[in-house]
């Protein structure tokens, strides 16, 4: 839509349109009066959900915390998350619903299925939790959900015990036979969020790419007009936001030049930044922008696919991740595995910091998010699905009681946790996958 300002009251869905570009805005003070017409709804908090998946299980003796309830001690792997202890819910004793293979780890993580397909070509699961949320939240956002990964997607062939690669390369399923491919290319994500891909705007988008004009260049005049119509604090917010977009776009362009890829109109480069952290920073900053502008409220992100062989020489672990995860419980190998696990929580902590520093209503983005962090395998050397390494992070828009470690002695299934999280997101369901009920998060053994 084309924005028309009336006084200083802006609709929440204000967008600025330019040459093949659509720029959504973050929540501004000038938008609050538009909500005021609905009384108490002016203070409604937008609740967002994200999954941050780590592959190949965990060095569990370095992961598991000591103590329960509020009196728990952060483990070596969790120490980087210390600044967020008050918005952390550590869950122990939950078992995977589909175990023994890597395909089951990621395949059931958000679907809760007890079994998937049995051959390379038989592909069957269930609607994943994120897509149940996307059906609801997608009515109010431009993008129903984002499915992202640090690895290129594979939708054919066998990757795990002769089962289809789709199980190891995605967490998201729109239907029992509809796995959603993940996107690892920052340019493709950027264009999906800010490029106007509608058929009537295709020529304009092609022209912008041909001229190598940035998203911001194409809406400069509208940004200038907006800045004259809003207050000083809003002007600062818009300047910070547009600078963040320009920075991401510049970094994407630099990465494309470094991989020496010609970029014809509408084509995407065949790769991503060669440096892992550069690539990760871009992907996380794009997610931050998508959440900040309410372009989407549902994101699944795989830091690595199951069976990822990525080495981490930057932290002194040159071993391929997947082979190292099959450490046969050898202490020196488990210790090296724990270095990777801790590195992942360090990277996650950086992202949480950005979420906490991003204003959202009366709080921050982190205050209004529920983030599920973890893996669908515990001890990978045995492909164990017992006692999954799981965290629920964020303020949950006031719906979560955090700062606690809950340990479940009855080994409930992961699917029960998904049912409970759906309730916390105010989209209740009777079941997900093989769930047998809800998982108590607010009270447990008097904690």
Report H helices in 259-297.
276-292
> With pLDDT > 90 as the criterion, what percentage of the chain qualifies?
59
- How many Å apart are CA 223 and CA 217, to the nearest integer? 10
Q: Count CB-CB contacts under 10 A for residue 389.
A: 26
- How many Å apart are CA 447 and CA 442, to the nearest integer? 8
Burial of 318 (0-12, 13-18, 19+ CB in 10 A): exposed
Which single residue is written with the structure tokens 């190998």? 333
Is 263's pLDDT higher than 70? no
- How many Å apart are CA 4 and CA 146, to the nearest integer? 29
Mean pLDDT, rounded, for 172-193: 92
Write down the pLDDT at residue 208: 53
Tally the C-alpha atoms within 13 A of residue 79's C-alpha that lie toward its C-beta: 8
Q: Which of 122-136, 241-255, 271-285, 396-410 has the lowest mean pLDDT?
A: 241-255
Of 200, 84, 197, which Cα lies nearest the Cα of 143? 197
- How many Å apart are CA 224 and CA 231, to the nearest integer? 13
pLDDT, tens digit (0-9, with 9 covering 90-100), for 191-237: 888 876 554 455 555 555 555 567 777 677 777 778 787 888 888 87
> With pLDDT > 70 as the criterion, what percentage of the chain qualifies?
84
Q: Count CB-CB contacts under 10 A for residue 166.
A: 25
Is 274's pLDDT higher than 60? yes
Across the chain, mean pLDDT equals 85
Higher pLDDT, residue 241 or 299? 299
- How many Å apart are CA 168 and CA 290, to the nearest integer? 25
Of 326, 372, 306, 377, which Cα lies nearest the Cα of 154? 306
Q: How far apart are the first and last CA of the chain?
A: 50
Q: Which residues pair with 90 in a beta bridge?
A: 391, 405
Mean pLDDT, rounded, for 364-383: 95
Write down the pLDDT at residue 398: 94
Is 20's pLDDT higher than 70? no
Write down the pLDDT at residue 92: 97
Burial of 230 (0-12, 13-18, 19+ CB in 10 A): buried
pLDDT, tens digit (0-9, with 9 covering 90-100), for 78-97: 999 999 999 999 999 999 99
Write down the pLDDT at residue 100: 67
The domains of the chain are located at 1-44+188-271, 48-184+275-447
Of 362, 441, 349, which Cα lies nearest the Cα of 397? 362
Mean pLDDT, rounded, for 135-146: 94
| CA–centroid distance for 179 within its chain | 17
Q: State the pLDDT confidence band at 414, using cuts at 50, 70 and 90.
A: very high
pLDDT, tens digit (0-9, with 9 covering 90-100), for 293-302: 999 999 999 9
Write down the pLDDT at residue 13: 65
Is 264's pLDDT higher than 60? no
Higher pLDDT, residue 271 or 275? 275
Write down the pLDDT at residue 445: 43
Q: State the pLDDT confidence band at 312, using cuts at 50, 70 and 90.
A: very high
Is 321's pLDDT higher than 70? yes
Tally the C-alpha atoms within 13 A of residue 119's C-alpha that lie toward its C-beta: 2
Q: Count CB-CB contacts under 10 A for residue 227.
A: 13
Q: Count CB-CB contacts under 10 A for residue 275.
A: 12
Is 38's pLDDT higher than 50? no
Mean pLDDT, rounded, for 404-429: 96
Q: State the pLDDT confidence band at 360, using cuts at 50, 70 and 90.
A: very high
Mean pLDDT, rounded, for 60-78: 96
Pairing of strands 390-393, 88-92: antiparallel
- How many Å apart are CA 378 and CA 337, to the nearest integer? 12
Is 386's pLDDT higher than 60? yes
Query: For residue 48, which phi and psi values (nearest 5 degrees)?
Result: -120, 150
Mean pLDDT, rounded, for 54-74: 96
- How many Å apart are CA 311 and CA 128, to the nearest integer? 30
- How many Å apart are CA 200 and CA 203, to the nearest integer? 7
Specify the fold of 48-184+275-447. Alkaline Phosphatase, subunit A (3.40.720)
pLDDT, tens digit (0-9, with 9 covering 90-100), for 331-348: 999 999 999 999 999 999
Q: State the pLDDT confidence band at 403, using cuts at 50, 70 and 90.
A: very high
């Amino acid at each position: 839509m084309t924005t028309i300002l009336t006084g200083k009251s802006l609709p929440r869905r204000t967008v600025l349109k330019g040459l093949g570009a659509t720029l959504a805005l973050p929540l501004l003070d000038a938008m609050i009066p538009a909500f005021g017409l609905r009384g108490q709804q002016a203070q409604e908090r937008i609740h967002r959900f994200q999954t941050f998946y780590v592959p190949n299980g965990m060095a569990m003796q370095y992961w598991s915390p000591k103590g329960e309830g509020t009196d728990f001690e952060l483990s070596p792997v969790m120490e980087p998350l210390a600044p967020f202890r008050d918005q952390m819910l550590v869950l122990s004793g939950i078992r995977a619903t589909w175990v023994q293979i890597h395909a089951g780890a990621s395949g059931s993580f958000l679907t809760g299925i007890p079994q998937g397909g049995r051959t390379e070509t038989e592909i069957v699961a269930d609607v994943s939790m994120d897509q149940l949320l996307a059906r609801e939240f997608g009515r109010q956002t431009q993008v129903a959900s984002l499915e992202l990964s640090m690895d290129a997607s594979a939708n054919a062939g066998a990757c795990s015990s002769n089962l289809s690669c789709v199980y190891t390369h995605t967490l998201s399923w729109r239907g029992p036979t509809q796995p959603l491919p993940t996107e690892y290319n920052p340019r493709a994500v950027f264009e999906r969020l800010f490029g106007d891909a509608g058929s009537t705007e295709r020529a304009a988008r092609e022209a912008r790419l041909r001229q190598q004009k940035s998203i911001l260049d194409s809406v400069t005049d509208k940004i200038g007009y907006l800045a004259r119509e809003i207050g000083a604090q809003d002007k600062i917010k818009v300047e910070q936001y547009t600078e963040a977009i320009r920075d991401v776009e510049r970094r994407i362009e630099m990465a494309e030049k470094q991989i020496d890829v010609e970029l014809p109109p509408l084509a995407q480069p065949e790769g991503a930044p060669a440096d892992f952290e550069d690539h990760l920073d871009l992907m996380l900053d794009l997610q931050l922008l998508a959440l900040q502008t309410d372009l989407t409220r549902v994101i699944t992100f795989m830091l690595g696919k199951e069976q990822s062989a990525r080495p981490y020489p930057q932290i002194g672990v040159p071993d391929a991740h997947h082979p190292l995860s099959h450490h046969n419980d050898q202490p020196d190998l488990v210790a090296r595995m724990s270095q990777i696990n801790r590195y992942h929580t360090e990277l996650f902590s950086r992202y949480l910091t950005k979420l906490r520093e991003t204003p959202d209503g009366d709080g921050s983005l982190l205050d209004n998010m529920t983030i599920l962090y973890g893996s669908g395998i515990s001890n990978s050397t045995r492909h164990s699905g017992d006692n999954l390494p799981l965290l629920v992070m964020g303020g949950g828009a006031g719906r979560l009681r955090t700062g606690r470690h809950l340990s479940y002695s009855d080994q409930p299934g992961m699917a029960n946790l998904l049912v409970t999280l759906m309730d916390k997101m105010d989209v209740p369901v009777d079941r997900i996958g093989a769930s047998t009920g809800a998982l108590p998060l607010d009270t447990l053994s008097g904690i």
